[in-house]
Amino acid sequence: VLPSFGARRRAAAASILEPQPLASLDARNISAWFGERQVLDRVSLTMPAGVITSLIGPSGCGKSTFLRILNRMHELVPSASLAGEVRLDGEDIYDVGRPLTEARKHIGMVFQKPNPFPAMSIYDNVVSGLKLTGTRVDRQTKDELVESCLRRAGLWTEVKDRLRAPGGGLSGGQQQRLCIARSLAVKPRVLLMDEPCSALDPTSTRVIEETMLELVQEVTIVIVTHNMQQAQRVSQQCAFFLAAHGTPGAIVEHGDTDAMFADPLDPRTFDYVNGRF
Ligand code: ADP
Ligand code: MG
């Protein structure tokens, strides 16, 4: 006997509110091209479950490209190609049998410039993520989901009395936390953040950092940052990317963040983390 529609719907609603187990992300020998031009050369990095990994390095060394490969956004650029493997908890996200939306659903992305739908309400911005999963949920479940996502993004107390106000009316830092809440609505296993604080003031930056440190207990985080203090404040693991003299970007070294800043193995890392280039 098939479960009734109501029962199936309640099961779907419950699974939307339950946390997912933590997952690791494993990139192996990633090379990337735009047309003929190679921009990444055999980058391998394990991003362990429940850890914040920061990617650092000068502009143009391929950090954003690497991040976009991690959730299959790279392939949206017509001239782009790549080689290598990305595994989410051991499963190949580029497996031909897997739909693109599945990778996107499990691996959320937050960008440098906060991009909520400006005219859409705060409430609907959070719920909009659900369209990706095609899950239909009742009003009460939606309310619970919106509250839970906004709480986890550190925004609930500031917006709970104006959930129907447009997302575009929030401050920059609040908009960025709204974007985090929106990505949490689909229950990602990994959250990729490309310079999420570069457009924000120091106070908003600290609030986002605190949010990340809470969130990493439920979602693995990878952050690109140009702020060396931020890398040290938030990340346990750090990877230094470099594209020297027109060569494709590669990882010079990676490892425990404190060790890498205190005692880098490579002189180029030492120069970079000490602001010499
Ligand atoms: P980073 O984030 O470290 O600054 P990017 O990943 O954005 O580096 O860029 C790496 C290289 O790829 C740069 O040389 C950049 O100009 C090039 N690149 C990035 N996006 C594109 C694109 N859509 N088309 C062509 N080249 C690109
Ligand atoms: Mg970038």
Q: Which ligand is nearest the CA of 32, by number?
A: 1
* 146-171 per-position pLDDT tens digit: 999 999 999 999 999 999 999 999 99
Query: Residue 9: its pLDDT value, please?
Result: 63
Question: Average pLDDT for residues 180-196, to the nearest whole number?
Answer: 95
**Ligand 2 midpoint to CA 123 (Å):** 30
Looking at the chain, the number of H-run helices and the number of E-run strands are 11, 10
Greater confidence (5 vs 259) lies with 259
Q: State what percent of residues in the chain have pLDDT above 70.
A: 95
* Structure confidence at residue 1 as a pLDDT band (50, 70, 90): low
Tell me which of 79 and 246 has the higher pLDDT: 79
Three-point CA angle 73, 106, 152, nearest 5°: 115
What mean pLDDT comes out for the span 129-145?
Answer: 84
Q: What pLDDT does 171 receive?
A: 96
β-strands 37-47, 25-34 pairing:
antiparallel
Residue of higher predicted confidence among 275 and 81? 81
Residue-level pLDDT at 14: 63
Residues 6 or more apart whose Cβ sits within 8 Å of residue 258:
232
Residue 184, pLDDT above cutoff 90: yes
Query: Helices 172-184 and 202-215, interaxial angle, to 10°?
Result: 20
Q: What is the mean pLDDT of residues 58-74?
A: 96
Per the CB < 8 A criterion, the answer to whether 195 and 112 are in contact is: yes
Q: How far is the CA of 58 from the centre of ligand 1 (A)?
A: 12
pLDDT band for position 45 (50/70/90)? Answer: very high
At 3, the pLDDT band (50, 70, 90 cuts) reads low
Q: Which residue has the higher pLDDT, 136 or 181?
A: 181
ipTM above 0.95, yes or no: yes
Task: State the residue for tokens 């921009």.
Answer: 39
The mean of the pLDDT values for the chain is 93
- Tally the residues of the chain: 277
| DSSP assignment letter at 166 | B
pLDDT band at 12 (very low <50, low <70, confident <90, very high): low
Ligand 1 nearest atom to the CA of residue 65, by list position: 6
Do 255 and 247 form a contact (C-beta atoms < 8 A)?
no
Q: Residue 129: which pLDDT band, with cuts at 50, 70 and 90? A: confident
The larger pLDDT score, comparing residue 249 to residue 135, is at 249
pLDDT tens, position by position, 97-116: 888 888 888 999 999 999 99
Angstrom distance (rounded) from CA 102 to CA 67? 16
Single-letter code of the amino acid located at 125: N
Residue 81 amino acid letter: S
Q: Which of 37, 38, 39, 193 to mutate to test the pocket of ligand 1 (most atoms within 8 A of CB)?
A: 39
Lowest mean pLDDT among 62-66, 101-105, 117-121, 146-150: 101-105
State which of 54, 64, 251, 252 you would mutate to test the pocket of ligand 1, scoring each by most atoms of that ligand within 8 A of its C-beta. 64
Q: Whose CA is nearest to atom 25 of ligand 1?
A: 34
Residue that has been written with the tokens 């953040």 in this structure? 193
